[in-house]
Amino acid sequence: MLTSIEGRSVVVTGASKGIGKGIAKVFAKSGGKVLIVSRHLDEAEACAEELRRAGGIAKGYAADVTKFGDMQTLVDAAAAAHGGIDILCTNAGIFPQMKIEELSSEDWDYVMATNLKGTFLPIKACLSHLKKSDQGRIVITSSITGPVTGFPGWAHYGASKAGQLGFMRTACIELAKYGITVNAVLPGNIATEGLAALGLEYERSMSASIPLKKLGTVEDIGYAALFLASKEAAYITGQTIIVDGGQILPESMEALAQA
C-alpha cells in the first residue's frame, strides 16, 4: 500500500469533474490535502465538499490554466491552505472534435492553449514550492490519442497530447536536480462528462474496440497518478503509463473478433 501521500499538498487542475475529480478523490482518500482547480468556483467547491464529506481534506479554487496570473494566485492559495505544494497533477484539457478541413487557426490555438500551454504554466508557477518539497512530483494527464494512436477530428488534440510528452522529456531532466519527477498517464477511453458529450454511439463503439470490453473509470487513472506521485516511485521520471484496457493492442477488429 502506498502510504506516502498522507499529509502531502496536492494540486489537481481540471478537477471539478471527470478524470481530474477521480485523481482528486484517490489522493484525498490516501490522506492528501487537495486543491481542486477549475474555471468555475461553484463546481470546484462542490467537488471539494464531496471529498470533505467522505473524510478528506480538500478546497475548491477557480483558475484558468491558460492564464499565468491565475496560476500564480493558485500557488499562493494552495500554499496558504495546505502549506506548500508537493504534488502537481496537470490534468485540465479539452477535446473538441473537428476535422482538419473545418479546423480554424483559432480552434487550433484554443486547444493548444488549454492542453499544452495549460500543462506548462501550472508547472512553472508551482516550481518554487515543488523545489522545497522532499517529494516533488508532477503527473501529466496525456492520452493515447496523439502519442500512440490517431482518430479523425483530433489532429489538433493529438498534437497537444504528444506535445505534452515532448515537454515532459526535457522537464524531467531540468528538474531532476531538485529531486522532482515528471511522468505522464495516458488514458484510453474513460467514462467522464467530457466523453459522454461525444454521444452514446461513440461510447458503444469504443467499448467494443477495447479488449477489456468497457470504458475505464476515473479512479483507474487516479490510481496510476497516485503511484507515480508516491515515495515508492521516486526513481521513475520521464515515463508514461498507458491505462486503456488494452485498447491500443489489437492489430485489427478481426484480432478482437477471434479472441
- State which residue, 46 or 131, has the beta carbon closest to ligand NAP: 46
Smallest distance, ligand NAP to C-beta of residue 179, A: 26
- State which residue, 45 or 64, has the beta carbon closest to ligand NAP: 64
User: Which strands sit side by side in the sheet containing 137-141, from one edge to the other?
Assistant: 57-62, 33-38, 9-13, 87-90, 137-141, 181-187, 240-243
Smallest distance, ligand NAP to C-beta of residue 65, A: 4
Query: Could you give the residue numbers annotated as active site?
Result: 157
Smallest distance, ligand NAP to C-beta of residue 84, A: 21
- State which residue, 135 or 143, has the beta carbon closest to ligand NAP: 143
* 165, 209 contact by CB (below 8 A): no
Give exposure, 123-134, as e/b (b: 16+ Cβ within 10 Å): bebbbebbeebe
Give the integer Cα–Cα distance in Å for 65 and 51.
Answer: 22
- State which residue, 92 or 130, has the beta carbon closest to ligand NAP: 92
Smallest distance, ligand NAP to C-beta of residue 64, A: 4
What does the radius of gyration of the chain's CA atoms come to, in whole angstroms?
Answer: 18
Give the integer Cα–Cα distance in Å for 94 and 18.
Answer: 11
Interface with ligand NAP (CB under 6 A)? 13-20, 38-40, 43, 64-66, 91-95, 114, 118, 141, 143, 187, 189-190, 192-195
Ramachandran sector of residue 83 (left: φ over 0; alpha: ψ -120 to 50; beta: rest): left
